[in-house]
Amino acid sequence: MRKKLQAAMEYLTTYGWAILLIAIVFALLFNMGVFNPNTFAPKAQPGSCQINRPFGPGTQQDTSMSGTCNEMPKYVAQFNGQNSYIDTGGSFMPLGGSARSVFAWVYFTGTSVRSTIYGYGDYFGGAGEGAALEILPSGNNGDLYFESDVYNAGGPSFSEGQWVWIGYTYLDGNILFYVNGKELSGGYLGSVLNTQLPSTDQANIGKDSAGINYPFNGMMSNVQIYNTSLSSNDILSLYYEGIGGAPIVMHNLVGWWPLNGNTNDYSGNRKTGVAANIIYVSNWDGGYSAP
């Protein structure tokens, strides 16, 4: 028995440092996300999925989807919280008091001022003429917020430092907020919107329009704009598709920017964005859990 104990001690003395080193290496690799299943998931190349409109931008007849869809993106867009944004132009945007839905996957890293996910319209033209989905900082969380000149509505909180599918639907003065497919508290704006476009700086991802900034700080992917108020079931389905999910209700799709390595609009409406100070990162999947 004593000989076996002695042999074991000699083994640990000889090889213990190697075992300890291996354990440290495995711990480091785990913290780097090497063993994250998302690391090994297929990653979609830019433009691998798109909407086809055979009768041209803005038409709905015979709309279809082609390519390899619903894969995780290879890249996402990173915004610096200072001067980065994407100008998407104002064509085909839902205006006046018409219904709309705005959604995106975002990784918010926090800021001391509010941040814009998507903003469009004229904030200097009159009451209700602008429309923006924003994040208000709240400790270690962010609060969803819809701003339209004098009509504002606050929504739910969500944690910073993780990927979330967030957005809103609007119909007849009512705002409904969604986080990860779940309908949460919304608000009534007190009046039907009257969204109008200015002559310049009409619509942007990552900042408000018409010279009001509130820049976004963090990463963003899969921005989708619709000219209808999506149903709760539609939004839940989009969430379960994950960060690389393709749009639904294609004929109501206004713009679709996966931000997978470029600012192209794959909705078939040719609303390709113009980027300012955007970088694309491939090591984005820390903080992302597939639904």
- Considering the domain architecture, whether residues 154 and 69 belong to the same structural domain is answered as yes
- pLDDT band for position 49 (cuts 50, 70, 90): very high
The per-residue pLDDT for 26 is: 43
- Considering the domain architecture, whether residues 232 and 273 belong to the same structural domain is answered as yes
The percentage of residues in the chain with a pLDDT greater than 70, rounded to a whole number, is 82
User: In this structure, is residue 203 part of a structural domain?
Assistant: yes
DSSP string for residues in 71-120: PEES-EEEEESSS-EEE---TT---BT--EEEEEEEEE---SS-EEEEEE
Least-confidence region, from 31-45, 143-157, 232-246: 31-45
Residue 287 predicted with pLDDT over 70:
yes
Residue 164 predicted with pLDDT over 80:
yes
- Considering the domain architecture, whether residues 197 and 244 belong to the same structural domain is answered as yes
Q: Please state the domain count of the chain.
A: 2
Owning domain of residue 267: 43-281
- The H-assigned helical ranges of the chain are 2-31, 37-40, 232-241
Which tokens sit at 34?
Answer: 């090497």
